[in-house]
């Protein structure tokens, strides 16, 4: 009921500020009001910047091993000391943000693309296609993520970031597909979709012009949360030896490289920074996701 009431303020009043009232802008305004989410955006932005400008922020090569100085303590040259191969931890931290974000982002993007395509086809057409896609998803869901990645990575002859990311996407599409399918299923019953069909709109038009823009909310929200999850997953995979191999720095493999009670106790500079970076980034992304959820969720439009 309230939805009606809220929107009842007369159209004429908002005429002059029409450009500010696109649904996206409204969501944006709502998002801006969520302080934690905005903080999240800033934090993420800074981390992205760090990744981009890493070469200017440190003179060290993150992959250069200085065997004369392994497990070095922080000093003027190596601000966060060196790791067990004598590589500068600070440099690895900076460059690591690149790789970790790239992994998180591209795994998310891959998955979202696969999930959106499959989910929208399943949700829009329903019937047999839907059945096949969903059965596949069920089967895939029955393999726990880690186990599947382990199995697939073991098969592959070579792992690079692209392949790594594809594997992650390959094993995580069902979750997103389900969500998008569900969104499409409920959208399909909306009157404006019927309306688009009744004017003779093609399937393509209906999917891309009408359904997708309205499904963007759940897609974006899930995308952000998924990205956070992927960053964590990468570190978990590193832990069991299936992650991105050294010397490429990622926060995940930095963390696992520093995995022992000795490091935990006596070399905090080796694990706290990557740990904190993971936590901060995941937190930031989660807050952004939360903010987006509130901003994009039509149910929250009431207030």
**Closest separation in Å from C-beta 67 to other proteins:** 3
Please identify, using beta-carbon distances, which residue of 1 and 68 lies nearer to ligand ATP: 1
- The item of ligand ATP, other proteins, none sharing an interface with residue 266, based on CB under 5 to 8 Å by kind, is other proteins
Asked whether position 1 contacts ligand ATP by CB under 6 A, the answer is yes
Please identify, using beta-carbon distances, which residue of 1 and 261 lies nearer to ligand ATP: 1
- The residue number with the shortest CB distance to ligand ATP is 5
**Closest separation in Å from C-beta 2 to ligand ATP:** 5
Size of the site for other proteins (CB under 8 A): 99
Residues 88-127 that bind other proteins (CB under 8 A): none
Please identify, using beta-carbon distances, which residue of 55 and 241 lies nearer to other proteins: 241
Binding mask 16-55 for other proteins (x = CB under 8 A): --xx-xxx--x-----------------------------
Handedness of CA 241, 242, 246, 249 (dihedral sign): negative
Residues 47-66 that bind ligand ATP (CB under 6 A): none
Size of the site for ligand ATP (CB under 6 A): 3
Please identify, using beta-carbon distances, which residue of 5 and 155 lies nearer to ligand ATP: 5
Cβ-contact 270, 251 below 8 angstroms: no
Please identify, using beta-carbon distances, which residue of 88 and 130 lies nearer to ligand ATP: 130
Asked whether position 155 contacts other proteins by CB under 8 A, the answer is yes
Buried b vs exposed e over 246-271: b needs ≥16 C-beta within 10 Å? bebbbbbbbbbbbeeeebeeebebbb
Give the closest residue to 84 by CA, choosing from 97, 96, 102, 72. 72
Residues 4-23 that bind ligand ATP (CB under 6 A): 5
CB atoms within 10 A of CB 147: 10
Rule CB under 8 A: choose which of 123, 235, 249, 295 binds other proteins.
235
Provide the greatest CA pair distance for the chain: 75
Sequence-ordered list of residues with C-beta below 8 angstroms from that of 129, at least 6 positions apart, any chain: 121, 122
Residues 246-265 that bind other proteins (CB under 8 A): 246-247, 252, 255-256, 259-262, 264-265
Asked whether position 2 contacts ligand ATP by CB under 6 A, the answer is yes
- The item of ligand ATP, other proteins, none sharing an interface with residue 13, based on CB under 5 to 8 Å by kind, is other proteins
- The item of ligand ATP, other proteins, none sharing an interface with residue 272, based on CB under 5 to 8 Å by kind, is none
Asked whether position 68 contacts ligand ATP by CB under 6 A, the answer is no
Asked whether position 155 contacts ligand ATP by CB under 6 A, the answer is no
Asked whether position 201 contacts other proteins by CB under 8 A, the answer is yes
Provide the phi-psi class of 206: left if phi over 0, else alpha when psi is between -120 and 50, else beta.
alpha
Interface with ligand ATP (CB under 6 A): 1-2, 5
């Amino acid at each position: 009921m309230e939805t009606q009431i809220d929107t009842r303020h007369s159209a004429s009043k908002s005429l002059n500020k029409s450009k500010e009232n696109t649904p996206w802008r409204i969501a944006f305004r709502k998002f801006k009001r969520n302080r934690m989410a905005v903080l999240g955006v800033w934090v993420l932005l800074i981390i992205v910047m760090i990744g981009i400008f890493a070469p200017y922020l440190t003179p060290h090569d993150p992959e250069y091993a200085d065997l004369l100085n392994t497990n070095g303590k922080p000093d003027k040259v190596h601000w966060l000391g060196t790791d067990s191969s004598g590589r500068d931890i600070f440099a690895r931290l900076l460059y690591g943000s690149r790789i970790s974000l790239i992994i998180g982002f591209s795994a998310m993007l891959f998955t979202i693309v696969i999930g959106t395509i499959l989910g929208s086809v399943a949700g829009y057409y329903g019937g047999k296609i839907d059945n096949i896609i969903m059965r596949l998803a069920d089967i895939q869901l029955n393999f726990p993520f880690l186990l599947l990645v382990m199995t697939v990575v073991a098969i592959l002859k070579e792992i690079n970031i692209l392949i790594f990311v594809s594997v992650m996407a390959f094993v995580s599409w069902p979750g997103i597909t389900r969500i998008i399918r569900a969104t499409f299923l409920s959208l399909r019953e909306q009157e404006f979709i019927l309306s688009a069909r009744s004017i003779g709109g093609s399937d393509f038009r209906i999917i891309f012009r009408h359904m997708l823009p309205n499904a963007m909310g759940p897609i974006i929200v899930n995308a952000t949360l998924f990205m956070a999850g992927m960053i964590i997953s990468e570190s978990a995979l590193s832990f069991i030896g299936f992650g991105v191999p050294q010397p490429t720095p990622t926060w995940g493999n930095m963390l696992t490289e520093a995995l022992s009670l000795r490091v935990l106790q006596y070399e905090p500079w080796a694990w706290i920074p990557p740990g904190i970076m993971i936590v901060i980034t995941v937190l930031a992304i989660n807050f952004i996701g939360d903010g987006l959820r509130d901003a994009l969720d039509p149910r929250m439009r009431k207030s």
